[in-house]
Amino acid sequence: MTASTLGTAVPQVNARAKVLGRAQYTGDLQLPGMLHAKVLRSPWPHARIVRIDATEALALPGVKAVITGEDGPQVPWGVHKKERLTFARGMVRFAGEEVAAVAAVSEEIARDALDLIQVEYEELPPLLTPEAALAADAPHVHPGRSDNVAHDIRYERGDVDAAFAQAHLVHEATYTTHAQYPGYMEPMATVATVDADGRLQVWTSTHSAHLVRARLAAVLELPVTQVRVIQATTGGGFGGKMIEDANSLVAGALALRTRRPVRVVNNRLEDFLAAPSSVPERITLKLGMDRAGRIVAKDVRIVADCGAYSGLAPEVMHVSAMRSDNMHRNANVRSHATLAYTNTPPHGAFRGFGGTQMQFALNSHIDTMARKLDLDPVQVHRINAIEAGETSVHGWKIGSTGLQECLSQCVDAIGWNDKRGRGARQGAKRRGVGIAAAMHVSGNRTIGNWDGSSVMVKINEDGRAIIHCSEADVGQGAQTMLCQVIAHELDIPLAHVHITLPDTDSSPWAIGTLASRVTIVAGNAAIVAGRLARDKLVAQAALMLQVDASELECANGTVRLKADPARKLTLAELARNHIWKHGGEGIQVTGSWDAQTTMFDKQTIMGNISPAYSFAAQAVEVEVDTATGQVTLVDSFVSDDCGKAFNPLAVHGQSNGAAAQAIGWTLYEQLVLEDGRIANGNFADYTMPTPDALPMLRSGIVESIDPNGPYGAKGASECAILPGAAAIANAVFDAVGVRITDLPITPEKVLAALRAREAGHA
């Protein structure tokens, strides 16, 4: 038998192409006659467009087109609310909004042309905070609306007030979180052209080729079949390359206008302006616990910043409002969350998708209350954790959970029992440890009544397999996972499986990479496809060997007789003979799988939306310099319950990458707005953690073997970003006794908290 790669550490199937520089990213594409496009963006967070004159820009030699809001696409777009035009018309609502675009024979000429476009603005007072936007007398970001509320969520389960009245300890606090830029290596890019048949053909960096196609068709008013989208090799996404920016729309509109290929590649500043950042939230959390630390009541109030357009921000806030309820047994929960339009750059999807914000508050709260009850926070997590076989307060059915083992791994790895609460410390530099836990979905039946996938497999005449699937690989290893499944099912070497890039013309329809869904839904679909292909091969072998199919098996690139392994046929022989016979055809199968989940009910906030749920825990050790306020991460260990690790190498890499992003959000990164404008839109000023700011990141894997997952697998690594911020905040408290509830945790905030504590003691 061929050695299966499932459960073993293997390099990603596209790793060699990437490290040798052979992988084609969108920015690498060169088409004959290609034009280069640049976008003119608003310098004002809120202004009326009085006049646009592109006459001089159009007269510049080499300029082939200029598009503005007046003559550009007039169909508004958005995820659920269709409220944003490709180019602003009449009014700009955030600094950075697209006002016009130029296509020219070179980037240099396109940039020069932008300077020649004359735009007269009438500056208007901007609303820069949710508090200002929600004030009773606030003007409306979107005229015609009755208020600036982009989304509002309210629900209550159980008897929350009665449970609080009976609780032994009630604690309430407010936490604030800030926007984080996705920070992917490859800025957003698109190449669009009109092919020989008059169809719009687009290569882009994306999480979902089919969702991009649908939006292009709608906004550019084309039949879907007139649009082809190919996902080029994508250098990271982290949620930021869904369908919340206008990059592909700009390229498509200019290609249709010029009838020539057009490339739009953001530079880093443009990407900061255009990409959705994570949703800033102010969370007021109230928890009630009994003497043993059991959570008996929970009340949440969230005010979140949408930015100028809603995109996926409502769904992000929804996750913050209710997802964490499901990780505990508490039946008494209440939540009210409000998302406010502001004149700031739009916020939206980011890895963790709203879980990071709430888990910072919840885990900080649990640590605080455990200390007040003189309990170990780990024990509080353990007694509240939902278990396999249970149904949560919102109807989530837990098929597997490895949270208890995740906690144990973290406790052992960090030396929790020896290091926690070490008492009085001498000197300026003091150390502490902290821990936090989280849960996440692996799939999400909320877009519509389907949360499935389809995988097409072809067996070529050489006996090797080709996979067509539109679930996106944005660096996380989806292509490798699918190749592993097909190689396992056909019992052939991994090198004998090739997977193509998502292409809406040739790959089955797919939702794409979001909600940690690809491994569980596409993995299951790949199993179906692999077994269908195997059945065809076995049936052909049964015909040729004149035996019953039940007597045969796939093994080591052949189909052989179980009782007499020497009687065998290679897959190449079988594939050729499957064609060259009366009624023959090439072996091509499509396997589909749809999760047996429940459509989410937006009215009741109920429904088992995911076929599986992932869990994670993280423990950290920090050193706090009480003289400077500097927090240094000394050690980090994150434990990821991924059901079954198809590729431990990839899981460890992704889990530690998630931890690094959480560390950056907590200690270093923050988008700074000055009068509504991003002031640090470059990697010199936006302080992402560099290698010297991180310890040797460590991680562990828990294999809880989910009953619905492919071979027991479920989503990996997205859950691993959720506990980091609270673990660090808890460790800071353990070190110096001050609780930072306002992210990021900066030296200034630590020093201010230490001074306030000393003044209070005095």
Number of CB atoms found within 10 A of residue 340's CB: 25
Same domain for 311 and 358, yes or no, is yes
Phi first, then psi: what are they for 151, rounded to 5°?
-165, 145
- Closest Cα partner for 210 from 591, 521, 508, 444? 508
655: left (phi over 0), alpha (psi -120 to 50) or beta: alpha
Beta bridge partners of 699: 638
Contact 141, 342 (CB under 8 A): yes
Do residues 98 and 236 both lie within one domain? yes
Average pLDDT value for residue range 12-16:
94
Which residues neighbour 609 within 8 Å (Cβ) at sequence distance 6 or greater?
Answer: 396, 441, 443, 444, 445, 446, 451, 597, 598, 600
Instruction: Enter the tokens of residue 651.
Output: 């899981």
Q: Is the pTM of this model over 0.95?
A: yes
Checking if the pLDDT of 427 tops 90, the result is: no
For residue 307, is it within any domain? Answer: yes
Average pLDDT of span 381-403: 98
Beta strands 429-441; 613-625: pairing state: antiparallel
Q: What is the pLDDT of residues 218-228, one digit of tens each?
A: 999 999 999 99
Tokens of 685: 């000023």
Find the mean pLDDT for residues 668-675: 96
Inside any domain, residue 363: yes
CA distance 96 to 73: 18
| Same-domain check for residues 393 and 527 | no
Largest CA distance in the chain: 95
Comparing CA positions, the residue from 579, 715, 719 lying closest to residue 639 is 719
- What does the block give as tokens for 63? 């300029």
Amino acid at 92: V
Answer yes or no: do 433 and 297 share one domain: yes
- What's 635's DSSP letter? E
**pLDDT category, 761, cuts 50, 70, 90?**
low
> What pLDDT score was predicted for residue 600?
81
In the prediction, which pLDDT does 447 show? 80
Judged by phi (left if over 0) then psi (alpha if -120 to 50, else beta), residue 405 lies in alpha
Say whether 86 sits in a helix, a strand or coil: coil
DSSP 495: G
* pLDDT higher than threshold 80 for residue 243: yes
Q: What is the 3-state secondary structure (H, E, C) of 183-197?
A: CCCCCCEEEEEECCC
Share of the chain above pLDDT 90, in %: 95
Say if residue 48 is in the same domain as residue 196.
yes
- Antiparallel, parallel or unpaired: β 333-341 and 295-307: parallel
Q: What is the 3-state secondary structure (H, E, C) of 259-321?
A: CCCEEEECCHHHHHHHCCECCCEEEEEEEEECCCCCEEEEEEEEEEEEECCCCCHHHHHHHHH
pLDDT at 234: 96
Taking the C-alpha atoms of residue 363 and residue 373, their distance in angstroms, rounded to an integer, is 15
Positive or negative CA dihedral for 258, 263, 268, 272? Answer: positive
Q: 156 in a domain, yes or no?
A: no
pLDDT of residue 51 exceeding 80: yes
Min mean pLDDT across 16-20, 106-110, 616-620 is at: 16-20
Q: Give CA–CA dist 194/71, Å, rounded.
A: 19
Tell me the average pLDDT across 117-131: 98
Given 570, 594, 618, which residue is the final one in a domain? Answer: 594
* Cβ proximity of 282 and 308 under 8 Å: no
pLDDT of 425: 65
In what helix (H) or strand (E) does residue 569 lie, and over which residues does it extend?
Answer: strand 568-570
Residues 411 and 552 in one domain: no
Residue 604 pLDDT level (bands cut at 50, 70, 90): confident
Q: Are 715 and 520 in contact (CB under 8 A)?
A: yes
Q: Can you give the pLDDT at residue 696?
A: 93
Q: Compute the average pLDDT of residues 563-575.
A: 97
User: Is 149 contained in some domain?
Assistant: no
pLDDT tens digits, one per residue of 278-310: 999 999 999 999 999 999 999 999 999 999 999
The 10 Å CB-count burial string (b at 16+, else e) for 216-241 is: bbbbbebeeebbbbbbbbbbbbbbbb
- CA 660 to centroid of chain Cα atoms: 15
Residues 505 and 580 in one domain: yes
Euclidean distance between CA atoms 298 and 156, whole angstroms:
10
Q: What one-character-per-residue DSSP string does 317-377 give?
A: HHHHHHGGGGGB----EEEEEEEEE-SS--B---TTTTHHHHHHHHHHHHHHHHHHTT--H
Q: Concatenated DSSP letters for 504-554? A: TTTSPP---S-TT-IIIIIHHHHHHHHHHHHHHHHHHHHHHHTS-GGGEEE
Looking at the fold, whether 110 and 211 belong to one and the same domain comes out as yes
> Is 426 or 9 the better-scoring residue by pLDDT?
9
Residue 700 has pLDDT above 80, yes or no: yes
Confirm if 594 and 455 have CB atoms less than 8 A apart.
Answer: no
Cis peptide before 744 (omega within 30 of 0): yes
- Above 90 in pLDDT, residue 603? no
Instruction: Quote the percentage of the chain above a pLDDT of 70.
Output: 99
CA-to-CA dists, residue 53 to 50, 69, 99, 113, 118, angstroms: 10, 12, 12, 12, 5
Q: What value does the mean pLDDT take over residues 748-757? A: 96
Mean pLDDT, range 404-430, rounded to an integer: 90
Could you read off the pLDDT of 428-482 as tens digits, one per residue?
Answer: 999 999 999 999 999 999 888 999 999 999 999 999 999 999 999 999 999 999 9
Distance CA 587, CA 578 (A): 7
**Phi and psi based region of residue 629 (left: phi greater than 0; alpha: psi -120 to 50; beta: remaining):** left
Query: Do 629 and 713 reside in the same domain of the chain?
Result: yes
Last residue of a domain, one of 254, 274, 294: 274
Give the residue numbers spanning the domain of 69. Answer: 31-126+182-274
Same-domain check for residues 36 and 101: yes
Q: For residue 617, is pLDDT > 70?
A: yes
First and final C-alpha spacing in the chain = 74
Domain boundary among 541, 564, 594: 594
> Which residues have CB under 8 Å from 488's CB, separation 6+?
4, 5, 6, 530
Q: What's the CATH code of the domain at 65?
A: 3.90.1170.50
Helix (H) or strand (E) holding 228: strand 227-231
The reported pLDDT for the residue numbered 394 is: 97
Q: Decide if 169 is inside a domain.
A: no
The helix (run of H) or strand (run of E) holding residue 727 is helix 724-736
State the pLDDT at residue 426: 72
User: Is residue 271 over pLDDT 70?
Assistant: yes
Instruction: Answer yes or no: do 247 and 299 share one domain.
Output: no
SS3 readout for 423-483: CCCCCCEEEEEEEEEEEEECCCCCCCCCCEEEEEEEECCCCCEEEECCCCCCCCCHHHHHH
pLDDT of residue 423: 56
Length of the chain: 762
Give a yes or no: residue 3 inside a domain. Answer: no
Residue 668 is assigned to a structural domain of this protein: yes
Write the pLDDT tens digit of every residue in 473-486.
999 999 999 999 99
Q: How far apart are CA 215 and CA 35, in angstroms?
A: 23
Name which of 482, 488, 462 is nearest 470 in CA terms. Answer: 482
Mean pLDDT (whole number) for 36-62: 98
The C-alpha atoms of residue 276 and residue 244 are separated, in whole angstroms, by 7
| CATH number reported for the structural domain that contains residue 363 in this entry | 3.30.365.10
> Judging by DSSP bridges, how do beta strands 698-702 and 631-641 pair with one another?
parallel
If phi over 0 gives left and psi between -120 and 50 gives alpha, with beta otherwise, what is residue 57?
Answer: alpha
> What's residue 605's pLDDT?
87
Q: Average of pLDDT values for 653-659?
A: 95
Residue 689 lies in a domain: yes
| For residue 575, pLDDT beyond 90 | yes
The Cβ of residue 2 has, within 10 Å, a number of other Cβ atoms equal to 17
Of 38-42, 106-110, 244-248, 596-600, minimum mean pLDDT range: 596-600
The reported pLDDT for the residue numbered 114 is 98
* Residue 527 shares a structural domain with residue 569: yes
- Identify the bridge partners of residue 305 per DSSP, sorted by sequence position: 340
Per-residue pLDDT of 200-223, as tens digits, reads: 999 999 999 999 999 999 999 999
- Count of the separate structural domains present in the chain: 3
What gap in Å lies between CA 457 and CA 466, rounded to an integer?
Answer: 6
In whole numbers, what is the pLDDT of the chain averaged over residues? 96
pLDDT at 6 over 90: yes
**pLDDT over 90 (residue 374):** yes
Distances (CA, A) of 66 to 253, 504, 698: 10, 29, 51
Helix axes of 571-579 and 523-545: crossing angle, nearest 10 degrees = 80
Is residue 49's pLDDT more than 90? yes
